[in-house]
Amino acid sequence: MSDERNLPTLAVNSHDSEEYKLLVDANNLSVDIDHEIILIHKFVKDHYKSIFSDLEEFVANPIDFARAVKVIGSEIDNIDAQKLSFLDGATIMVLKMQTSTARPLPGSTRQTLGHGRERLLSSIYQACNLMLELDQAKKIITQYVASRLSSYAPNISHIVGPSTAAQLMGFAGGLPGLSKTPSCNIAALGAKRSFKIGNMGSVGFQRQGFLYHSPIIQSVPPDTRKQAMRIVSGKLVLAARIDMSRSSKDGHLGLKYYQEIKEKLEKLMEPPENKGIKALPVPDDRPSKKRGGRRVRKWKEQFKQSEMQQAANTMAFGKPQGEVEGYGDEFVDTGMLGASAGGKGASFKNMTADDKTKARMTKGMEQRLNTFASRHTPAHGAVDVSGLSSTVSFTSNRGIEISAPQNYLQQANSNIDKDRWFKSGTFTTIANKPTAGGVVLGPGTNSTSMQPPKRKIDSPTGPEAKRIKE
């Protein structure tokens, strides 16, 4: 790689140099050759489809497709795997399986289509030969451009080498096309799309274009090549723009970028830091320190053994111990429980529960329960009905009666309204005493008392009274 970068640099002072124009024309000619190869490839695919339609699905590269057509021809039943050595083994195996399952044409049909197929194959072979000749001419142009590229694009040559730079420029449309290409697309330039078994996942590196095969990328381990291609692509586009503007004719910026790339790659390939294994602490057999104090003693009292547990775990020498029936045929020993009662059976009447060992609820839990209860209190005017209440009631007169909840609510609301309007007691109680008009009066009342009181009207005096009379 160092030999390619130290090629003699020609003195090119301006774009009017004859050699510079020749290199530009050579690059443009390689671009035209690519366009012609694409057109011929389409012609071959369209006409060879009647013979072997599945070949274009498995061989996507135009040059490999033309070579495969020349090898296979019309005899798709007998494919020579040795002549298809330019393809990978998986593709050859799939091609043989595809041709073995194809149905051969009858003999009469072959004779009928024989003369037309021969003329079709001759035109396809001519197109394939022309495609291969154009590819060979493009290789010669690329080799010439690579040999003289130090004067045309010195900065690109210092980064990826003249041969890779010539391939990238020929594929991207010369130096102007390469300078306009985004850095994220540099890795895909020249990548071959081929049919591979097991290539559906992310196994290996799929974008193996011109940049992937450059010396600077091949010098790094395979697991870091993807990151290396990202680093090189960014600097390569900058170098192409510098060469396009002719701002660094001697290529010193390209050398600067190359040194920066090498430093980043060396840092990328550094082994991870070897962190020593931390030793385990020295085992200490001494008992750990326990915290003491009034609060801790009070907390420990909740978990101490009760009197019943101590009596059940105690056995008296020479005295029978009590037993109680357990699950099935099992018996549970009760120890000294019931010994004070003087019998074999366990007596728990004298045992008293200790308040210290009772289950307690924390203050936080009590606060959460109170908050939960306050959220579920009935609103103002609503009736708090238990969820266990039923709408079925038993009466002495009617037996089972189904009551409607809405009637109960209406009655409760009417009682609220009565209390609102009639609680002041301004109305008179009416007794069983009929009057002339049929109104029942209470004791000590007469018809005159039930009449509304007469309203006292102040009569006008002075000049207003005279004016009213008039």
Predicted confidence band at 256 (pLDDT cuts at 50, 70, 90)?
very high
CB count within 10 Å of CB 311 equals 21
Instruction: Considering only residues 134 and 319, tell me which one the structure prediction assigns the higher pLDDT.
Output: 134
- Among 3-7, 76-80, 288-292, 418-422, whose mean pLDDT is lowest? 3-7
Q: How much of the chain exceeds pLDDT 70, in percent?
A: 67
| pLDDT, mean of residues 283-300 | 81
- The answer, yes or no, to whether residue 332 has pLDDT greater than 50, is yes
Spatial CB neighbours of 4, under 8 Å, sequence gap ≥ 6: 157, 161, 162, 163, 215
- Per-residue pLDDT at 231: 93
Mean pLDDT (whole number) for 391-415: 68
Return the DSSP state at 223. G
**Residue 112, pLDDT score:** 47
H or E stretch at 395: strand 392-395
Q: Does the structure show a pLDDT above 70 at 403?
A: no
Q: At 30, is the secondary structure helix, strand, or coil?
A: helix
| Res 4: pLDDT | 40
What is the rounded CA–CA span in Å between residue 224 and residue 152? 31
Query: Hey, is 155 helix, strand or coil?
Result: helix
Res 418 pLDDT > 80: no
Specify the range with the lowest mean pLDDT, choosing from 4-8, 106-110, 206-210, 258-262. 4-8
Span(s) in the chain for CATH 1.10.246.90: 149-197+206-270
Residue 425 has pLDDT above 90, yes or no: no
Is 60 exceeded by the pLDDT of residue 281?
yes
Section 374-391 average pLDDT = 62
pLDDT at 164: 85
Other Cβ atoms closer than 10 A to 268: 13
CATH 1.10.287.4070 in the chain, residues? 20-147
pLDDT digits (tens, 9 = 90+) for 89-146: 777 787 777 777 655 555 544 554 556 678 888 888 888 999 999 999 988 888 887 7
Least confident of 86-90, 100-104, 292-296: 100-104
More confident residue, 44 or 195: 44
| Per-residue pLDDT, 447 | 47
Band of pLDDT at residue 257, cut at 50, 70 and 90? very high
pLDDT at site 259:
93
DSSP string computed for 176-231: HHHHHS-GGGSTTTT---B--TT-SSS-S-----TTTTSHHHHTS-GGGHHHHHHH
Across 13-27, 69-83, 144-158, 360-374, least confident range: 13-27
State yes or no: pLDDT of 1 exceeds 50: no
Shortest CA distance to 324 belongs to which of 340, 343, 351, 304?
343
Q: Give the model's pLDDT for residue 7.
A: 37
Q: What is the CA radius of gyration of the chain?
A: 53
Q: What is the pLDDT of residue 2?
A: 39
The answer to whether 401 and 394 have CB atoms below 8 angstroms apart is yes
Q: Which residue has the higher pLDDT, 188 or 12?
A: 188
**206-224 pLDDT, tens per residue?**
667 888 888 889 888 888 8
Superfamily for the 149-197+206-270 domain? Nop domain (1.10.246.90)
Chain mean pLDDT for the chain: 74
Where does the pLDDT of residue 303 fall: very low under 50, low under 70, confident under 90, or very high at 90 and above?
Answer: confident
Q: How far is CA 374 from CA 361, 379, 387, 417, in A?
A: 18, 11, 17, 27
Residue with tokens 């124009």, as numbered in its chain = 21
CATH of domain 20-147: 1.10.287.4070
Q: State the pLDDT confidence band at 274, using cuts at 50, 70 and 90.
A: confident
- Nearest C-alpha neighbor of 226 from the set 209, 239, 248: 209
Give mean pLDDT, residues 324-332.
76
Give the pLDDT confidence score for residue 336 in this predicted structure.
77
State residue 242's pLDDT score: 92
Asked if residue 31 lies in contact with residue 166, where contact means CB atoms within 8 angstroms, the answer is: no
